Amino acid sequence: MTTLIDETTDDGLTPADLAIQSDIKRQVLNRLKRARGQLDAVIEAVNADSDCRSVVTQIAAVGSAVERAGFVIVASGMKHCLTSEGESTPDSHSIEEMEKLFMMLR
């Protein structure tokens, strides 16, 4: 349902901003749930004495899914935090913070 009222929250978010964040949250949760399923498969593979190659492949898949969730969060933060309200000028402090978060993922 679309609202016609252009209200902002206490932190300056509009309903459109919240909808975008909700979409990002859904994407992140889907990736993390996928990673949880893959991790369960790794645990089962180890318990079943599966071959090393399949276990390591599954571990890599888990890591990749979690890493991608982190990238989605950082990318969303960059879009939201790097511009001041109504301006297109980046805030250098936010850029440094986002860079640190991004580098933590690697």
Burial class from Cβ neighbours inside 10 Å (0-12, 13-18, 19+) for residue 14 reads middle
pLDDT digits over 44-88, tens only? 999 999 999 999 999 999 999 999 888 888 888 777 666 655 555
SS3 101: helix
Model confidence, pTM: 0.63
Q: What does CATH list as the number for 15-104?
A: 1.20.58.1000
pLDDT digits over 1-16, tens only? 434 344 555 556 566 6
Sequence spans of domains, the chain: 15-104
Rounded-to-integer distance, Cα 35 and Cα 2, Å: 33
Rounded-to-integer distance, Cα 21 and Cα 68, Å: 16
